[in-house]
Amino acid sequence: MFHFCLFSVSYLSFCFSVYTILSKVHSDRNVYPSAGVLFVHVLEREYFKGEFPPYPKPGEISNDPITFNTNLMGYPDRPGWLRYIQRTPYSDGVLYGSPTVENVGKPTIIEITAYNRRTFETARHNLIINIMSAEDFPLPYQAEFFIRNMNVEEMLASEVLGDFLGAVKNVWQPERLNAINITSALDRGGRVPLPINDMKEGVYVMVGADVPFSSCLREVENPQNQLRCSQEMEPVITCDKKFRTQFHIDWCKISLVDNTKQVSTFQEVIRGEGILPDGGEYKPPSDTLKSRDYYSDFLITLAVPSAIALVLFLILAYIMCCRREGVIQLVHHSAIQKSTKELRDMSKNREIAWPLSTLPVFHPVTGEIVPPLHTDSYDNTSMPLMQTQQNLPHQTQIPQQQSAGEFRMTTFQRFEASI
């Protein structure tokens, strides 16, 4: 069993249930939507369960996960105006969209493939969409509402969409009211809501009518409400209470289109006779090509860059050798090199006077000369930063006990005084 709905003529939705026996191999189903009117086709899982074998145990309830794949026959995807949604493998799939006038009179064959995720079996059926022209299309006045507390599959339900069209009819009071299109907020660049507080994605619903917009719908255009919208505040709409019980409408995102005031930009195309002017007969190149001398090209390729490089070299030589600034730079560079060489020679020889802290000193009491901590034959090129203590005269080593019975030697300088 298939369900398809056409939302047109009045605010109430008309749904038809068509019963047919489908074989497992192939079956065609014809539907007749109107151009510019919302078309909804539900792919019911309960029906496709009969295409697959039941559970092996009798008496068990079959609840196989079933997914659907839809595409235009001979193509990998669907037509541009037709969308498809299925939240989980345990929910029904929905085809929806607004047929275009360009496809009127052309049958659109949609291949529907059902996949049983338990048995990996498939069943394929064809849906033939015969788009018919609408006499009152397009309706001159169109309004697009953004409903924040709905997802697209919830809004596509015939009962919910019928309630919304009924609320719009009470506010607008038109003679004809059609649901033109439904679009998920995610298709308009919206963000996926967080899975908290039962947040919804939001959905855009476009409706059309044959009478001008009511004063309630025009209230969003007054300066006070425009200012409140610019400050991200809720505008004051008198008829919002007629929607608030079931639909939370963002009035700042409402769009009102009056097609009667739009200026047509169509320009008539002047077609010619389709004959190009005569340009003579085509003359192909001869079979024998003349030889060409590339010697001059070779000289030009090498001579010009070489001449430019030579001129730049002469200019640089003149600046560095003949100009005062260049000579100063050369002298400065030469002085740096000379100083660097002298420092390197000094670091190799180390032929400099020893500091006063390393010269021989006299004993303050005995007057004896206390030798320095180094000898003249000491290799000063490998002198450590801290020299080791030596057992020199007038020094006494006293053992000191540490923890765990260990001893260490401590050296004291001994001075003798005669009285």
Higher pLDDT among residues 128 and 198, named by residue: 128
Higher pLDDT among residues 368 and 178, named by residue: 178
Q: Average pLDDT of 399-418?
A: 50
Structure confidence at residue 266 as a pLDDT band (50, 70, 90): low
C-beta neighbour count of 419 within 10 angstroms? 2
Give the pLDDT of residue 273: 63
- Measured CA to CA, the distance from residue 245 to residue 204 in angstroms comes to 18
Q: Average pLDDT of 174-190?
A: 89
- Measured CA to CA, the distance from residue 155 to residue 164 in angstroms comes to 9
Structure confidence at residue 339 as a pLDDT band (50, 70, 90): confident
Q: State pTM to two decimals.
A: 0.55
Structure confidence at residue 359 as a pLDDT band (50, 70, 90): low
- Measured CA to CA, the distance from residue 37 to residue 8 in angstroms comes to 6
Q: Average the pLDDT over each of 21-35, 92-106, 320-334, 379-393 and give the range with the smallest value.
A: 379-393
Structure confidence at residue 100 as a pLDDT band (50, 70, 90): confident
pLDDT digit string (tens) for 42-89? 998 888 887 787 765 665 666 889 999 999 999 999 998 999 999 999
CB contact set of 106 (below 8 Å; sequence gap of 6+): 131
Give the pLDDT of residue 140: 86
Give the pLDDT of residue 13: 40
Higher pLDDT among residues 364 and 323, named by residue: 323
SS3 letters across 302-360: HHHHHHHHHHHHHHHHHHHHCCHHHHHHHHHHHHHHHHHHHHHHHHHHCCCCCCHHHCC
- Measured CA to CA, the distance from residue 325 to residue 350 in angstroms comes to 37
